[in-house]
């Protein structure tokens, strides 16, 4: 029985990960612990004492923060995995070129990469959700419900960032991406506070960012509250972006690697 080509390629990325999994496993667990302790519990105590509780919907700040941070972590993991490693395989160690001397096609490399990115994001969101329950920020049922929206959020960034990285000529484009897109999104897309707190002119900008939609979906799944828009609208927006990102990535890979 033939294994699909994309899955055969995915094995390469999985093996590369397994060589360094210990280090990454520690950060996967430690990051949510540190963030939830410092911001959720530490800062959250102050928020809960002041007017903050009313703004975030009469719940403890840590409970409000945790699902937002989960979606943002999915974004971060997917973005990191689809930026420098993709550039290395494309331009530095040229393993894509090596793989294309075999029956594999550019399409297989892109889909295999997305498949592994999905697994990586899922490993992270599962650990994160466990930490959420440890902090009392989510019930076990909520920890399960947040998985799909968080993984969907990660996949949006895996596809878009892969497409963006694939057409870069050098590494500077990646530092700009982190500086001007990823970090501002992390801070201002409803992860830490409702975007209603932003100045009026900035709110439409938040509506465009995929992370805001991811955060809304994940938070509403965790807390069982209504999201800003219909959940189906948030989902449709994220799925559409995945489609665009995947299409662009496949096109760029094909153009660039089979000149």
Partner 1 sequence: MLPWSAVLATFWPVDTGPRVVFAAMTSALVAASNLTKRFGTFTAVDSVDFVVNEGEAFGFLGPNGAGKSSTMRMIGAVSPVTEGSLRVFGMDPARDGPAIRARLGVVPQEDNLDNELPVEENLLIYGRYFDLPRRELRPRIDELLGFAQLTERRTSKVEALSGGMKRRLTIARSLINDPDLILLDEPTTGLDPQARHLLWDRLYRLKREGVTLIITTHYMDEAEQLCDRLVVMDKGAIVAEGSPGQLIAAHSTREVVELRFAGGALETTVDKLDGVAKRVEELPDRVLLYTDDGDTAVAAVHERGVFPESVLVRRSTLEDVFLRLTGRMLID
CA distances in angstroms from 234 to 72, 98, 183, 187, 214, listed in the order given: 16, 39, 21, 20, 7
Least distance from partner 1 to the Cβ atom of residue 240, Å: 31
Closest to partner 1 by CB, 1 vs 54, is 1
Closest to partner 1 by CB, 14 vs 37, is 14
Least distance from partner 1 to the Cβ atom of residue 246, Å: 21
Contact 48, 63 (CB under 8 A): no
- Token digits for 16? 């590369």
Burial class (CB in 10 A: 0-12, 13-18, 19+), 73: buried
Least distance from partner 1 to the Cβ atom of residue 232, Å: 39
d(CA 169, CA 90) in angstroms, rounded, equals 10
Closest to partner 1 by CB, 9 vs 212, is 9
CA distances in angstroms from 27 to 67, 96, 147, 259, listed in the order given: 18, 28, 19, 39
Radius of gyration of the chain (CA): 19
Least distance from partner 1 to the Cβ atom of residue 104, Å: 5
What's the chain's length in residues? 259
Closest to partner 1 by CB, 93 vs 236, is 93
Least distance from partner 1 to the Cβ atom of residue 254, Å: 10
Name the DSSP class of 42.
Answer: I
Closest to partner 1 by CB, 100 vs 242, is 100
Closest to partner 1 by CB, 27 vs 102, is 102
d(CA 230, CA 149) in angstroms, rounded, equals 14
Site residues for partner 1 per CB under 8 A: 2-3, 5, 8-9, 11-12, 15-16, 19, 93-95, 97-105, 257-259
Contact 177, 124 (CB under 8 A): no
Contact 106, 182 (CB under 8 A): no
């Amino acid at each position: 029985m033939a294994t699909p080509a994309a899955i055969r390629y995915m094995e390469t990325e999985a093996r590369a990960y397994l060589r360094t999994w210990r280090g990454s496993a520690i950060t996967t667990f430690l990051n949510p612990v540190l963030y939830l302790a410092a911001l959720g519990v530490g800062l959250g105590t102050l928020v809960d004492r002041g007017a903050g509780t009313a703004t975030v919907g009469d719940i403890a700040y840590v409970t409000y923060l945790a699902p937002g941070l989960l979606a943002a972590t999915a974004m971060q993991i997917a973005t990191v995995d689809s930026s420098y490693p993709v550039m290395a395989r494309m331009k530095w160690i040229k393993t894509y070129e090596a793989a294309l001397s075999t029956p594999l096609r550019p399409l297989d490399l892109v889909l295999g990469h997305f498949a592994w990115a999905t697994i990586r994001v899922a490993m992270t969101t599962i650990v994160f959700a466990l930490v959420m329950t440890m902090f009392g920020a989510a019930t076990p049922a909520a920890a399960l419900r947040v998985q799909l929206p968080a993984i969907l959020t990660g996949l949006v960034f895996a596809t878009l960032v892969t497409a963006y990285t694939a057409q870069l000529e050098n590494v500077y484009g990646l530092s700009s991406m982190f500086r001007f897109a990823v970090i501002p999104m992390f801070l201002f897309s409803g992860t830490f506070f409702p975007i209603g707190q932003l100045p009026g002119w900035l709110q439409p900008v938040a509506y465009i960012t995929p992370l805001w939609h991811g955060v809304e979906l994940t938070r509403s799944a965790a807390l069982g509250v209504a999201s800003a828009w219909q959940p189906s609208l948030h989902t449709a927006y994220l799925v559409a972006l995945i489609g665009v990102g995947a299409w662009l990535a496949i096109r760029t890979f094909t153009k660039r690697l089979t000149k």
